[in-house]
Amino acid sequence: MTATQVIAPGWTASPSPLPVFEHRLAGYRRIWRGSVFSTFLLPVLFLLGMGISVGAFVNRAGELGVPYLDYIAPGLLASTALQVAIGETTWPVMSAFSWIRTYHAMRASPLRPKDLVGGETLFVSLRVGMSAVGFLIVMILFGTVHSWWGVAALPVALVVGAAVAGPVLAFAATIKSDNMFALLYRFAVIPMTLFAGVFFPVAEMPLVARWIAYASPLWHGVELCRAATLGWPPLLPVAAHVAYLAVWAIVGYLLACSRFAKKLTD
Amino acid sequence: MVTTLALPRLIARTQGSAGRIGAVTARDLAAVRHSGYWLVVISGFFEPVLYLMSIGVGVGGLVGDFTLADGSVVSYAAFVAPAMLAASAMNGAMAEATFNFFAKMKWVKLYDAMVATPLRPFEIALGELGWALIRGSLYSVAFLVLMVALGLTTAAWAVAALFASLLVGFAFGGVGMAISTLVRTWQDFDYIMVVQFGLFLFSGTFAPVESYPPVMRVIVEVTPLYQAVELIRDLTTGRLSWGSLGHAAYLVVVAVIGLAVAARRMNRILCK
Amino acid sequence: MPDEPLIHARGLVKRFGEFTAVDGIDVDVHRGEAFGFLGPNGAGKSSTMRMIGCVSPPTGGMLRILGLDPVRDGPQIRGRLGVCPQQDSLDPELTVTENITVYARYFGIPRRVARERAAELLEFVQLDERANDKVEPLSGGMKRRLTIARALVNEPELVLLDEPTTGLDPQARHLVWERLFRLRQRGVTLVLTTHYMDEAEQLCDRLVVMDRGKIVAEGSPRELIERHSTREVLELRFGEDALEIYTGKLAGIGERVEVLPDRILVYATDGDAAAKAVHDRQLSPSSVLVRRSSLEDVFLHLTGRTLVED
């Protein structure tokens, strides 16, 4: 220990995820316009198209207990968190491995694989947080937030982001062709968005589909967000939902660290 | 005498052209077999099916039966399904005509090699469109089979809808390529995607345009996806009218203009 | 008819906006020739090649390729040309063989014939063992050879090669040269651009030297050297001194003296005699080299600049 300290001058801090985070931030400054446009506008369009337009025809029986717009808005918040987190951990990560090879440059510095994973996760959290704040403001403007608990939807969005960022980082470090991302969207992201309780109650689906929805991280995020903005009690205790998402986040993080280490060692 | 000589020559020339267009499509068919791309292509079929199941059936459970403008009553799924077919024809064609086409032209420089052969830019555009249509019609056939199985349309109308969906793919393929020749950077595709998604949501897809605010309704009615949705919905619900012909004519015009612009711009980009 | 040139250009001009890339050149290339455009980067060689390849319409002047008009008869002419562009434009999504067979279809060559020809051509460019590999992992030299093979698939009457060995290592260059030499022996007409004088000397029967869009000399490599240079060149280096001071001290030795930033060239019929004369004047260069005159010297004499300016 003492020997290392003698060799390394004071300003050579021990490796940390921060420089990786800063790198992503520097890149994002150049492209934020298009990205804000798509990550903010898409859910708002969804909110208008489904919530208001279709909403006029939905729920005439009143079985949801709230207007359809209010019902899907928190669901869209959670699914936005998911979309943003996955968007930032797929093609950009593939590019840093194979195309621009940023990670290989980072690997030549004292940074460790877990710093790369940590830095990416930090950046994902920032992006998810930004999108969630923007969307929550829109939700308030449309009068869909019924309770002060609505603010709690923001940390929920961050947890959802972290829950999917880890596993997808691991996936991105494993696959050989970026064609696999298209499959990830088709067979995981889009089905989750459509069937994990965002647009209609999961209870309406047949049993098998229902249990697949329960297993998806998005459903837990949707339940928590809906509980927060509508002031409803969630189906399970809050701690159980959070714990389930935390397991995804932690296992995903560890998996990503080991996949990154493997990919950068050969 | 002149005509007897000119005609065979003209035929020989167009045959050559048709062969070259086919060769460009054949190139895409050869490429799709590699690197798992075929999985991406095949699995594209699931997207409209998932939307149909989620919005048409799932949300449809909350909507119940649906009264159309002319007073006829259909299930919500039967209302949404033709719109999903039209949207999937648009998305399939646009995926090839925007992102992939741009990559081939600006990044891989594939067309630089092609123009060094007897191929001309408009033949390249048509060949690429041929592949986009093959891809789109795979989705349309599968989706229509599903619709018939679910009782959302009849087999005879489904065949007619297949041709309509090819026309939709043709129109959006032309428009997509024209846009791609004008686009400068990858980031611009974010905007194209948002516009495409806006069209997907607001083209009378999930709710009839009659329910939109008047100003918005007028705007929606001039966009191509609305015309496509209406045409296909007329067919799958069996309510053909003169209006349907109007929708079809609109799409033909859009396709021709799109292709003409694309070929012109390609000529300028590739044959400087 | 047999004497009609394959390429016939008079006052050929290519402008991009204000910039004139090709400034009125006259060129005739005859059947069976190996013809070269020699010049530095930016001399207008690639623009000329693109006009000959019928992918870039001339701005002015007259151009006939195979006796046809490149603007009106583009597809017909291109069907009889083979083009090997400066940047490899291979299809990364296809295998080595498919790159040739798919390309063959653009010429209307039947599938079966395309497959046979692909096999022959891959053998010719020594890539038959990589036939089913993807293009991506191939080395630069292999990719260039594949591009050449692809350009030959339609049995072209005229093959255009734009900088065929730029960016290749010496071994890969020699392999490409050897294949092109075989093509020449088969009587294929070759037109190539290069900024390597050794490449021009190796491959060309006849060449033009281009500079800033104009042709500054024309002839066989030997003729050009005889006309614009001496038989031998004496290269002198003098440590780190400013070389200009030697201009006066060397006056009268050889026919002509050129001072470059790092060395002095003395043009003389007898290099050894010139070296002795330098020695007799009590000048002590740090290195002395006598060599034969090359096209580099021709270019230096014609333009006052070297070909490869790094």
The ipTM is 0.86
CA distance A204 to chain B (A): 7
Rounded Cα distance between B243 and B83, Å, is 17
Q: In the structure, do chain A and chain B come into contact, i.e. share 3 or more CB pairs under 8 Å?
A: yes
Looking at the fold, whether C203 and C243 belong to one and the same domain comes out as: no
| Average pLDDT score over chain A | 88
**Contact (CB, 8 A) for C145 and C126:** yes
Which pLDDT does position C2 carry in this prediction?
54
Which pLDDT does position A187 carry in this prediction?
92
Q: Per-residue pLDDT for A241 more than 90?
A: yes
pLDDT digits (tens, 9 = 90+) for C101-131: 999 999 988 889 999 999 999 999 999 999 9
Residue with tokens 């940023």: A102
B55, B194, B207: residue with CB nearest A37: B194
Which pLDDT does position A122 carry in this prediction?
94
Domains in chain C, number: 2
Q: Per-residue pLDDT for A5 more than 70?
A: no
Say if C297 falls within a structural domain.
no
Which of C15, C106, C143, C152 would you mutate first to test chain B, the one with the most B CBs within 10 A?
C106
Chain A residues inside the 8 Å CB shell of B201: 45-46, 48-50, 53
Rounded Cα distance between B2 and B147, Å, is 54
Looking at the fold, whether C250 and C160 belong to one and the same domain comes out as: no
Q: Per-residue pLDDT for B250 more than 60?
A: yes
Nearest Cα neighbor of B143 from B162, B160, B128, B156 is B162
Single out the residue in C173, C193, C225 at which a domain terminates.
C225
| Average pLDDT score over chain B | 88
For residue C289, give the 3-state DSSP assignment: strand
Residue with tokens 């069996």: B238
Residue B58 and residue A199: Cβ atoms within 8 Å? yes
Single out the residue in C225, C242, C272 at which a domain terminates.
C225
Which pLDDT does position B62 carry in this prediction?
87
Which pLDDT does position A57 carry in this prediction?
85
Mean pLDDT computed over B123-142: 91
Low-confidence ranges of chain C (pLDDT < 70): 1-3, 240-241, 306-310
Residue B115 and residue C108: Cβ atoms within 8 Å? no
Question: Given pLDDT bands bounded at 50, 70 and 90, which one contains residue B1?
Answer: very low
Q: Per-residue pLDDT for B169 more than 70?
A: yes
**Contact (CB, 8 A) for A169 and A252:** yes
pLDDT digits (tens, 9 = 90+) for B47-87: 899 999 998 889 988 888 877 767 778 888 999 999 999 99
Nearest Cα neighbor of B121 from B99, B137, B101 is B101
How far is C-alpha B51 from the geometric centre of its chain's CA atoms? 18
Who's near A46: CB < 8 A, 6+ residues apart?
A76, B201
Say if C300 falls within a structural domain.
no
A-chain residue closest to B60, CA distance: A58
Nearest Cα neighbor of C53 from C22, C28, C21, C84 is C84
Q: Per-residue pLDDT for A215 more than 80?
A: yes
Ranges of each domain in chain A: 19-55+63-265
Looking at the fold, whether C38 and C160 belong to one and the same domain comes out as: yes
Mean pLDDT computed over A155-180: 93
pLDDT digits (tens, 9 = 90+) for B82-98: 999 999 999 889 888 99
Say if C298 falls within a structural domain.
no
Say if C306 falls within a structural domain.
no
Rounded Cα distance between A195 and B54, Å, is 6
Rounded Cα distance between B99 and C196, Å, is 39
CA distance B31 to chain C (A): 5
Rounded Cα distance between B229 and B201, Å, is 11
Which pLDDT does position A41 carry in this prediction?
84
**Contact (CB, 8 A) for B61 and B200:** no
Residue with tokens 């003296």: C257
Which pLDDT does position C284 carry in this prediction?
78
Q: A151-168 b/e with 16+ CB inside 10 Å = b?
A: ebbbebbbbbbbbbbbbb
Residue C76 and residue B113: Cβ atoms within 8 Å? no
Q: What is the CATH number of the domain that holds C271?
A: 3.30.70
How many DSSP H helices and E strands does chain A contain? 12, 0
**Contact (CB, 8 A) for C5 and C29:** yes
- Asked if C16 reaches chain B (Cβ–Cβ under 8 Å), the answer is yes
Say if C303 falls within a structural domain.
no
Q: What string of H, E and C letters represents the secondary structure of chain B?
A: CHHHHHHHHHHHHHHHHHHHHHHHHHHHHHHCCCCCHHHHHHHCCHHHHHHHHHHHHHHHHHHCEEECCCCCEEEHHHHHHHHHHHHHHHHHHHHHHHHHHHHHHHHCCHHHHHHCCCCCHHHHHHHHHHHHHHHHHHHHHHHHHHHHHCCCCCHHHHHHHHHHHHHHHHHHHHHHHHHHHHCCCCCHHHHHHHHHHHHHHCCCCCCCHHHCCHHHHHHHHHCHHHHHHHHHHHHHCCCCCHHHHHHHHHHHHHHHHHHHHHHHHHHHHHCC
Ranges of each domain in chain B: 2-270
Q: Per-residue pLDDT for A3 more than 70?
A: no
Which two structure tokens, joined as six digits, stand for C45?
Answer: 């060689």
Q: State how far the alpha carbon of A155 is from the alpha carbons of A87, A122, A133, A228, A235, in Å.
A: 19, 14, 10, 11, 19
B-chain residue closest to A195, CA distance: B54
Domain of residue C153 covers 7-225
B-chain residue closest to A33, CA distance: B187
Relative to beta strand C189-194, strand C60-65 is unpaired
Q: State how far the alpha carbon of A183 is from the alpha carbons of A186, B41, B46, C66, C292, in Å.
A: 5, 10, 10, 51, 64
- Asked if A59 reaches chain B (Cβ–Cβ under 8 Å), the answer is yes
Q: Which chains touch C (3 or more CB pairs under 8 A)?
A: B
Rounded Cα distance between A211 and B52, Å, is 20
Rounded Cα distance between C295 and B253, Å, is 59
Q: Which chains touch B (3 or more CB pairs under 8 A)?
A: A, C
CA distance A219 to chain B (A): 15
Chain B residues inside the 8 Å CB shell of A33: 187
A-chain residue closest to B207, CA distance: A54
Q: What is the CATH number of the domain that holds C148?
A: 3.40.50.300
Question: Given pLDDT bands bounded at 50, 70 and 90, which one contains residue A1?
Answer: very low
Residue B37 and residue A179: Cβ atoms within 8 Å? yes
Packed helices B155-182 and B121-149: angle between N→C axes, nearest 10 degrees: 150
